[in-house]
Amino acid sequence: MQAKHGACPSATTVLTQAADTTECVILAGPSAVIPIVFLPGIMGTNLQSAGKRKSGAEKGEPVWRPPNMDGIGPALGAIGQLFSYWFRGPATRQRRLDPGNVTVDSRGPIDTEGTLDKETARKRGWGTVMRSAYQPVMCQMERTLNNIMESGELLRWWSEEGLRNPSDYGEETGTAALTKEDLQHAAQYRYDVWAGGYNWLQSNSDSGTDIIRYIDDVVLAHYRKTGEAAEKVILVTHSMGGLVGRAVACLHNYGKLLGVVHGVMPATGAPATYHHCRCGYDGIAQVILGSNAAEVTAVMANSPGALELVPTSDYNGGKPWLKLGGMGGHDAQWLPVKDPYEEIYKSREWYGLVPAHHEKYLNPAGGRPSTRGATQLEQFDSRIDNVKMFQERISEQFPASAYVHYGDDVGQRSWATVHWKGASIAKLSSLEVLKDDGEGNLSMAARGLGPFKLRFGGALEAGDGTVPTVSGSAPAGRSIAARFRQGSGGRGEFSRRNAKGREQGYEHQASYEDCRSQWATLYSVAKIAGSADWA
């Protein structure tokens, strides 16, 4: 039996011959509902032009559709997208990806794998999020959570997998395994999976406000209309979506959250953000996201949401993470000494997030400053001040009943620290940039020394390829109900191996495609459901 959007639950049956008088039974599902709202990571929401100002795109025209690379058809479409982005320079990227001139686009592709009809999925917002990265796990939640018990007995996945000890999958706080009684309670509810796409260019605080409005005015309003009991929702988040979820719970104190599942969240930021702004992206991602500092800075430095991913002041316990020089046994300089916002993000020195010689990258489109009389760098510094405010407000703040899973794998090399590799650098301010190719290579000069070169070092530390372990593992405290460490650094029978039995960690963007994160998510939702009381 399936609940159609905006209607009572319905079922499809097959007629038999008149001579067949066998009694047929349709099993009715629960009438009480726990909606699950999935929040994607940065760049995981489809965006369209709002048409407020000139951007080269008409109102309603798609300006961001992350490419789906699975299958021949989607791959061909993705190749077309990659080809179009190849010819978009910094100015075009800045105009089209303007935080104040985009809205969420719900018209993206949908694949429900037969778990529900596409019309229902479309109305639940599935078309707002990247299909290949997120809809498979959304389908799995829809399918598995709505098949917990039948006739008083646990169904196959729950009886064979769901009752395992969470420590087998890397849980490190000692939380208890699910019991049959836990699952009997969870089975009293129907689980409808919704997608909560959001404007990932704007501040995560603003996105939190938008998600609250979406839950109140769309998700819960739907059940008020159908007369079904649904009082609170569960958030399942990926990456930056975790910051949005924390804004919902901790900044806006939203009271209709039953619990939150955080997947691969950069809880205290990620130095990869610094790398991307100074060097561009690597691999195929560079075609879409930018291959050099000019292309990335044009978007990232104007996007409050992206900037909120820089390492926080309490990243790795406040230890410095930016290394300058120090090759061949020479002395190195480490930053920040105290304040990353002043020492790195607002610094105009050669090692700053946007150094003085990159000022031209802030506004390649040539538009007027949004603040009268302010230079581009002054406006950028104002955005950094807002980043600091946001990060300080959510520091060590997590939703009540939060369940966390993250990658800790030596094979998924991540930047826990970043390094401009070169000889000894005695005085940081005494250096002059002769050339910066925007891809991680600097030619420098210093007083009393001949020219020398610096090169940006590769990622070396454990993580998921984007979020280092020190950030993924940062959530702690009484509100953290469970925390799963998965990959080579995990403990437990299944924490190190993927579905193929290989000792291999999962990659950041594809984390929800991995059986370990999927198990942690299903376990977490079932645990959170234990506090629901409206069935």
Please write down the HEC assignment for all residues of 308-330: CCCCCCCHHHHCCCEEEECHHHC
Do the Cβ atoms of 354 and 361 come closer than 8 Å? Answer: yes
pLDDT tens for 262-319 read: 999 999 999 999 999 999 998 767 777 789 999 999 999 999 999 999 999 999 999 9
Residues 31, 126, single domain; the answer is yes
Q: What is the C-alpha separation between 136 and 130, in angstroms, rounded?
A: 10
Nearest Cα neighbor of 417 from 378, 386, 458 is 458
Query: Is there a single domain that holds both residue 259 and residue 277?
Result: no
Phi/psi of residue 502, each to 5°? -85, 140
Find the domain containing 90 and state its range: 50-105
Query: Can you tell me the distance from the alpha carbon of 296 to that of 283, in angstroms, rounded to the nearest whole number?
Result: 14
Same domain, 96 and 8: no
Query: For residue 313, with 0-12 CB atoms within 10 Å meaning exposed, 13-18 middle and 19 or more buried, which class applies?
Result: middle
pLDDT for position 376:
92
Q: Provide the CATH number for the domain around residue 194.
A: 3.40.50
Pairing of strands 402-407, 431-436: unpaired
Do 94 and 121 lie in one domain? The reply is no
pLDDT at residue 429, rounded to an integer: 65
Task: Please say which residue of 105, 132, 149 terminates a domain.
Answer: 105
Our count of domains for the chain comes to 3
* Same-domain status, 137 and 60: no
**Which residues in 166-256 belong to E strands, given as ranges?**
189-195, 233-238
Q: List the single range of 83-97, 127-141, 201-215, 235-249 with lowest mean pLDDT.
A: 83-97
Kind plus residue range of the DSSP H or E element containing 32: strand 32-39
For residues 383 and 441, state if they share a domain: yes
CA angle 356, 359, 360 (to 5 degrees): 140
| Same domain assignment for residues 165 and 223 | yes
Picking from 105, 132, 150, the residue at the C-terminal end of a domain is 105
Tell me: the pLDDT tens digits for 438-457?
999 999 988 767 788 999 99
Q: State pLDDT tens for residues 220-277.
A: 999 999 999 999 999 999 999 999 999 999 999 999 999 999 999 999 999 999 999 9
pLDDT band per the 50, 70, 90 thresholds, residue 70: low
Are 163 and 212 in the same domain? yes
Q: Which of 58, 77, 105 is the last residue of a domain?
A: 105
227 & 160 share domain = yes
Residues 6+ apart with CB under 8 A from 12: none
What pLDDT does residue 5 have?
46
Compute and round to an integer the Cα radius of gyration of the chain: 25
| CA dihedral for 419, 424, 430, 434, sign (positive or negative) | negative
Say if residue 345 is in the same domain as residue 285. Answer: yes
Check whether residue 285 and residue 204 sit in a common domain.
no
pLDDT tens column, 414-428: 999 999 998 767 666
Closest CA to 463 of 451, 474, 455, 471: 471
E strands of 415-532, at which residues? 418-421, 431-436, 441-446, 449-456, 461-463, 480-486
Least confident of 26-30, 124-128, 177-181, 419-423: 26-30
Are 423 and 346 members of one domain?
A: yes
Note the pLDDT tens digit of each residue in 120-164.
Answer: 999 999 999 999 999 999 999 999 999 999 999 999 999 999 999
Return the biggest CA–CA distance within the chain.
102
